[in-house]
Chains A and B, each alone.
Chain A
């Protein structure tokens, strides 16, 4: 089963190496990892999607906790949350195909962010399913390049994951 972890870490150099190294060293599989700083510049937040059964997840969480730079871990898999990824796709777009591609973009509420002589770059955000469907729809035109951010996630409603909240279950 895939789990989504929200991990708050000290914004120290090397923290990504510590976390990534821990996963590879202990043989855990990361599906995706996205990191960026939070509203507090001293703290970064990682969203880690990891594959494994409950036992593996328990070990992942406990081992992550042992890293001094890890402040807090919330497994939000079972909670209501919003998750998003952003993808940029550069696709072949000969002038006669552009109309079709723009229609597809419309359907996915994607944006055209660059228009070259023979290519376009489209930007799309959404959850994994949507991103995948978007990619599939563009494949027939020939994808030249694709880059995605990895998933970020946030709990819905008034619950939140920050260093003051208690196991992400506060306020509810």
Chain B
């Protein structure tokens, strides 16, 4: 059967069981959009290409499936760049299509030409410029495979307009052809035995679990491990929601804004079991002071992460779920009550807390959201203080419950990501916790929310400022607040109304208690403008350049 390469593209997506793509059309994408016209695949028209890629990202994080987005050549493609980098940093599987000028014009600075494969080399797992239309199905097959296996990540396919229009004999290959790509899934047996011996001998183990647990679907194994060996669990930001937030063994997040007891437990432990985490600088603080008494077991699917930042005693390259399954039978149930007593003591000495006096506190709003959703909602966030308060105060009880930009810290991620998440999880509670700064970076997607009729509940913690940067200026610039306080805000309620979205403003605990449960049961989208103090700080905090044992609280 002869069809155009663009039609083949759409057929491939259908065969990959893609049911939704996020995108924005343009001249170079005419053939592809024309092919989509005849397809059952749902196309979600965003209002800016950044929205398309973040939405695909949010969809992928919420569902575990590959997110797909597309944009036209030139500015369409460059508008995707932030979102691609964002997905790359957080290991999110995406397949991104861009239109390209016709092959004969490539390299001539043609209208809306940009070398998007060149631009995205450092921020994609792999990318392709399609020159031979007949190669497109194999490329798409490879792209989905690369994006979703091993350490997931975005793959970009750049399709020149003329190539898209050429006729090919369509057939979708069943296998990938990639001799340079063979992720290791099963951990090395001897290393697993070594790890088991270390664990069985350890008196003060801590499990440090990252986003790899979520990507490999290893939450059950993690819980089993923790309970079997009586080890407390701390999550990285990306790992949040992989372990029940209300479990007695849960220490919360560690690192820069981690709980003090998590950071101290890591400092005191004799064995650190790192699972799908990468010893990021926000986690470790000063490296020399990170887990100074501990032997380190590091399980990761990406060999390049092992030994990158800290020396490792037992390296295990593999899928964390498979590794844990192999490891669990080798472990002895051990009584570690002295260690657990010590953990309890740390927890009592240094609880996570905030001052509830004077006014509505952002932390309180998060606690209320937790209370009313039982930790089961999907929470998308933006970037800033509000994001850290979600990490600290929302006790996630369901894997993939947190949709947030960790590695890149992209303001503006939240709203479009919530759009993607809600489309991936119809009928489920999706809440966006955003900041007044971040929200204004991509708030045009309110139109998408309305158009798609998505019941997203938006809580904007409005502190009239770029709170996180303000906090840094307070600590590191002696309170010289430069370019962080907003002197003008739109009337957000009127703005919401302009998009036919309901709006509320709250500024007392009383109002929060009343409005939050009401909003959560509304059938449609709602924006809640939560007026909170710009003075509030994210605490505890590890000062820059210090060890994580040097956390301060006020």
Of the listed stretches A28-36, A56-64, A112-120, chain B binds: A56-64
The answer to the question of B307 belonging to the interface, with a C-beta cut-off of 8 Å to chain A, is yes
Q: Which residue of B lies closest to A25 (CB)?
A: B122
Q: Which residue of B lies closest to A69 (CB)?
A: B180
Q: Which residue of B117, B125, B307 contacts A58 across the interface (Cβ within 8 Å)?
A: B307
Could you say which residues of chain B place their CB within 8 Å of the CB of A70? 180
Chain A residues 62-107 with CB under 8 Å of chain B are 62-63, 65-72
Roughly how many angstroms separate A72 CA and B180 CA in the complex, as a whole number? 7
Could you say which residues of chain A place their CB within 8 Å of the CB of B179? 10, 71, 163
Could you say which residues of chain B place their CB within 8 Å of the CB of A55? 307
Q: Which residue of A lies closest to B181 (CB)?
A: A68
Q: Check if A62 sits within 8 Å of B304, measured CB to CB.
A: yes
Q: Which residue of B lies closest to A12 (CB)?
A: B128
The answer to the question of B289 belonging to the interface, with a C-beta cut-off of 8 Å to chain A, is no
Q: Check if A21 sits within 8 Å of B303, measured CB to CB.
A: no
The answer to the question of A17 belonging to the interface, with a C-beta cut-off of 8 Å to chain B, is yes
Q: Check if B304 sits within 8 Å of A63, measured CB to CB.
A: yes
Chain B residues 173-200 with CB under 8 Å of chain A are 178-181
Q: Check if B122 sits within 8 Å of A21, measured CB to CB.
A: yes
The answer to the question of A157 belonging to the interface, with a C-beta cut-off of 8 Å to chain B, is no
Taking the closest CB of chain A, its distance from the CB of B156, in whole angstroms, is 12
The answer to the question of B121 belonging to the interface, with a C-beta cut-off of 8 Å to chain A, is yes
Roughly how many angstroms separate A21 CA and B127 CA in the complex, as a whole number? 14
The answer to the question of A18 belonging to the interface, with a C-beta cut-off of 8 Å to chain B, is yes
The answer to the question of B95 belonging to the interface, with a C-beta cut-off of 8 Å to chain A, is no
Q: Check if A10 sits within 8 Å of B180, measured CB to CB.
A: yes
Q: Which residue of B lies closest to A15 (CB)?
A: B180
Q: Which residue of B118, B122, B126, B304 contacts A68 across the interface (Cβ within 8 Å)?
A: B126
Q: Check if B308 sits within 8 Å of A68, measured CB to CB.
A: no
Q: Which residue of A10, A17, A72, A163 contacts B121 across the interface (Cβ within 8 Å)?
A: A17
Roughly how many angstroms separate A32 CA and B304 CA in the complex, as a whole number? 23
Q: Check if B304 sits within 8 Å of A66, measured CB to CB.
A: yes
Could you say which residues of chain A place their CB within 8 Å of the CB of B118? 14, 17
Could you say which residues of chain A place their CB within 8 Å of the CB of B180? 9-10, 67-72
Could you say which residues of chain A place their CB within 8 Å of the CB of B302? 66
Count residues on chain B whose CB falls below 8 Å from chain A CBs.
Answer: 17
Contact with B along A39-67 (1 / 0, CB 8 A): 00000000000000001001100110111
Q: A17-B121, A21-B122, A70-B180 are in contact. Are A65 and B129 (CB under 8 A)?
A: no
Q: Check if B129 sits within 8 Å of A13, measured CB to CB.
A: yes
Q: Which residue of A13, A14, A65, A67 contacts B303 across the interface (Cβ within 8 Å)?
A: A65
Chain B residues 287-308 with CB under 8 Å of chain A are 302-304, 307-308
Could you say which residues of chain B place their CB within 8 Å of the CB of A25? 122
Contact with A along B166-178 (1 / 0, CB 8 A): 0000000000001
Could you say which residues of chain B place their CB within 8 Å of the CB of A10? 179-180
Q: Which residue of A14, A59, A68 contacts B146 across the interface (Cβ within 8 Å)?
A: A68
Q: A13-B129, A14-B129, A68-B125 are in contact. Are A59 and B304 (CB under 8 A)?
A: yes
Roughly how many angstroms separate A59 CA and B307 CA in the complex, as a whole number? 8
Taking the closest CB of chain A, its distance from the CB of B176, in whole angstroms, is 10
Q: Check if B121 sits within 8 Å of A21, measured CB to CB.
A: yes
Could you say which residues of chain B place their CB within 8 Å of the CB of A163? 179
Contact with A along B111-143 (1 / 0, CB 8 A): 000000110011001100100000000000000
Roughly how many angstroms separate A106 CA and B18 CA in the complex, as a whole number? 69
Q: A71-B179, A163-B179 are in contact. Are A18 and B121 (CB under 8 A)?
A: yes
Q: Which residue of A62, A63, A65, A68 contacts B178 across the interface (Cβ within 8 Å)?
A: A68
Q: Which residue of A lies closest to B125 (CB)?
A: A68
Q: A14-B117, A69-B180 are in contact. Are A59 and B122 (CB under 8 A)?
A: no
Could you say which residues of chain A place their CB within 8 Å of the CB of B121? 14, 17-18, 21
Could you say which residues of chain B place their CB within 8 Å of the CB of A62? 303-304
Q: Which residue of A lies closest to B155 (CB)?
A: A68
Roughly how many angstroms separate A55 CA and B308 CA in the complex, as a whole number? 8
Taking the closest CB of chain B, its distance from the CB of A118, in whole angstroms, is 40
Could you say which residues of chain A place their CB within 8 Å of the CB of B178? 68
Candidate in A17, A62, A70 with the most chain B CB atoms within 10 angstroms: A62
Roughly how many angstroms separate A98 CA and B174 CA in the complex, as a whole number? 66
Could you say which residues of chain B place their CB within 8 Å of the CB of A63? 304
Q: A14-B117, A67-B180, A71-B180 are in contact. Are A59 and B308 (CB under 8 A)?
A: yes
Q: Which residue of B lies closest to A72 (CB)?
A: B180
Could you say which residues of chain A place their CB within 8 Å of the CB of B117? 14
Roughly how many angstroms separate A9 CA and B118 CA in the complex, as a whole number? 18
Taking the closest CB of chain B, its distance from the CB of A8, in whole angstroms, is 8
Taking the closest CB of chain A, its distance from the CB of B309, in whole angstroms, is 10
Roughly how many angstroms separate A59 CA and B305 CA in the complex, as a whole number? 9
Could you say which residues of chain A place their CB within 8 Å of the CB of B129? 13-14
Taking the closest CB of chain A, its distance from the CB of B303, in whole angstroms, is 5
Roughly how many angstroms separate A67 CA and B117 CA in the complex, as a whole number? 14
Roughly how many angstroms separate A69 CA and B146 CA in the complex, as a whole number? 12
Roughly how many angstroms separate A58 CA and B307 CA in the complex, as a whole number? 9
Taking the closest CB of chain B, its distance from the CB of A51, in whole angstroms, is 19
Roughly how many angstroms separate A17 CA and B119 CA in the complex, as a whole number? 11
Roughly how many angstroms separate A135 CA and B304 CA in the complex, as a whole number? 40
Could you say which residues of chain A place their CB within 8 Å of the CB of B303? 62, 65
Top-5 shortest CB links A-B: A62-B304, A71-B180, A68-B126, A68-B181, A62-B303
Show 17 A/B contacts (Cβ-Cβ < 8 Å), sorted by A: A9-B180, A10-B179, A10-B180, A14-B117, A14-B118, A18-B121, A25-B122, A55-B307, A59-B308, A62-B303, A66-B125, A66-B302, A66-B304, A67-B126, A68-B125, A68-B178, A68-B181
Q: Which B residues have a C-beta under 8 Å from some C-beta of A? A: 117-118, 121-122, 125-126, 129, 146, 178-181, 302-304, 307-308
17 more A-B residue pairs beyond the given contacts A68-B125, A68-B178, A163-B179, with a C-beta to C-beta distance below 8 A: A9-B180, A10-B179, A10-B180, A13-B129, A14-B118, A14-B129, A21-B122, A25-B122, A55-B307, A59-B308, A66-B125, A66-B302, A68-B180, A68-B181, A69-B126, A69-B180, A70-B180
Q: Which A residues have a C-beta under 8 Å from some C-beta of B? A: 9-10, 13-14, 17-18, 21, 25, 55, 58-59, 62-63, 65-72, 163
